[in-house]
Amino acid sequence: MKRFYTLFIIALFASPPIYGQGFLKKLGKKAQEISKTVLGEDEKQKEKEAEEIDYDFPPAEDIYPEEMYAEEEAEAPTLGSTDPNAPRILTFSIGKEKGKIDHKKGIIEITVDPDTDFENIIPVYTTGSNVTSSPASGKRIGGEDSYFTVKDKAGRKCVYEVVLHIRGMEKKDLKAGTKSGTLRMVNTMQGFPQINSTYYFDNYGKLFAMMNDMGTGTIYDYAAGKVTILTAVASIEKVRRITDQAASLQIPDIKEPTMKDLENALNNGLKDVEFVYFSYEIPGLDKKLECPIISNYEVMPPSFLVRMNARKVANTTIAGKSCFTLEITEPESGMKMLYYSWKNINFGGGIKGMAWSQVESFKESTPAGIFSPPKGYRPYAEYQAEVDAITEAAGKKLQKKAEPLMNAPEIQAIKQFLDEYEKELKATDINK
């Protein structure tokens, strides 16, 4: 137990800079010397008999092979141009479709039919004289060629991004469906306990909320670009208990949760927690994150479904509704996933036995106030202020408890070693 206190104090009070491998070797040898005055007689004997091993740490490239590093994504260019005299794209078209050009924002929007051959898109555009452009007009483009740059001899340039819209398949094109609703779902995943969740939506997906039976969830306000997270945190009483144990030089009573603990929490609710919420703004949320309840699969033409390895099958009755049913096949494994929707609303699906969502009930209405934090939830900042006060008081108590131990010979030896090594490093830097 004495050794635990020693290590605990070192971790709390010793804060050396990152010294590198040489420091680790020296510290290892110093620790061996100090251990001779701390360990029992039997351990002293074993220490003498043990063969000293000097570890050489392998370089990072051996631990993390080059192929493990993900390729860095190319940085998107700055669109448009701040120079009013910069060259411009004057006209832009794909087949019979003409693009709408915004020179200031550097955006070219163009709407095409769903049966367009997306593997063989050939844009045609015009510019002023004495202008170079890339990629060239009349050249077949791929997904990486969504940016078009025009430049004149003076070096002025304007960059455009082409945004394709598919006619009749965007949110604004959806047929009038269900304006609001409450979906009670049973979600199962292989190897995990069943999770029951409730999903709420209103205004055709402009508002969406999800909450599971443990009381955690998320509220999305797409129109306002605001996300509110509902979550469970350790109760103030639990925080006080754990910090008091640590301040009294005891091992904090913290256990890693098991799958059984998760199952108990799902069945009986969380213990030793309280609920908080925090919100943050995401401009353009409706464009960055689509509402998972709203679907446009029902209006997709067969030719477009083929590209998704999907096909429409006979309707399935779910919660009393005759649902549009889509079967999607994974080409390599041949695994088939089912997807259900009714009036543009996702009615679950997945792969049975692996990941599956089943509707338990459905109402075409939502409870009042569901898109605001529920009663009993408080702002996270308020909770955090209480936690900070508790940890600050515990820190003062820990310092008082630890002061006598800090004067122990082995602690003083390590502190002296750290000071000397830091001086050695500074001297090396000065000589350089």
In a domain, 19, yes or no: no
Say if CB 337 and CB 325 are below 8 A apart: no
Q: What is residue 174's predicted lDDT score, i.e. its pLDDT? A: 65
In a domain, 71, yes or no: no
Rounded-to-integer distance, Cα 62 and Cα 272, Å: 44
Domain span holding position 298: 173-235+272-363
In a domain, 347, yes or no: yes
203 and 181, same domain (yes or no): yes
Give the CATH number for residue 134: 2.60.40.2340
Of the residues 301, 336, 363, the one at which a domain ends: 363
The predicted model gives 377-406 an average pLDDT of: 87
97 and 225, same domain (yes or no): no
The predicted model gives 387-399 an average pLDDT of: 88
Q: What's the pLDDT tens digit per position in 178-234?
A: 889 999 999 998 888 888 999 999 988 889 999 998 889 999 999 899 999 999 998
104 and 186, same domain (yes or no): no
Of the residues 140, 167, 194, the one at which a domain ends: 167
107 and 179, same domain (yes or no): no
| Number of domains forming the structure of the chain | 2
180 and 155, same domain (yes or no): no
Gyration radius from the chain CA atoms: 32
197 and 300, same domain (yes or no): yes
State percent of the chain over pLDDT 90.
39
Q: Which of 25-29, 64-68, 313-317 has the highest mean pLDDT?
A: 313-317
Q: Is the dihedral of CA 244, 247, 250, 255 positive or negative?
A: positive
User: Average pLDDT of the chain?
Assistant: 79
199 and 213, same domain (yes or no): yes
Give the CATH number for residue 217: 2.50.20.10
Q: What is residue 2's predicted lDDT score, i.e. its pLDDT? A: 37
Assess whether pLDDT exceeds 90 at residue 63.
Answer: no
163 and 194, same domain (yes or no): no
102 and 230, same domain (yes or no): no
Say if CB 141 and CB 135 are below 8 A apart: yes
Q: What's the pLDDT tens digit per position in 116-168?
A: 887 788 999 999 888 999 999 998 886 566 889 999 999 899 999 998 888 87
Of the residues 363, 392, 415, the one at which a domain ends: 363
In a domain, 411, yes or no: no
156 and 177, same domain (yes or no): no
State percent of the chain over pLDDT 70.
74
Q: What's the pLDDT tens digit per position in 323-373?
A: 999 999 988 888 999 999 998 899 999 998 899 999 999 999 999 999 999
Q: How confident is the model at residue 301 (pLDDT cuts 50, 70, 90)?
A: confident
Question: What distance lies between CA 428 and its chain's CA centroid?
Answer: 43
102 and 227, same domain (yes or no): no
Q: What is residue 214's predicted lDDT score, i.e. its pLDDT? A: 86
148 and 95, same domain (yes or no): yes
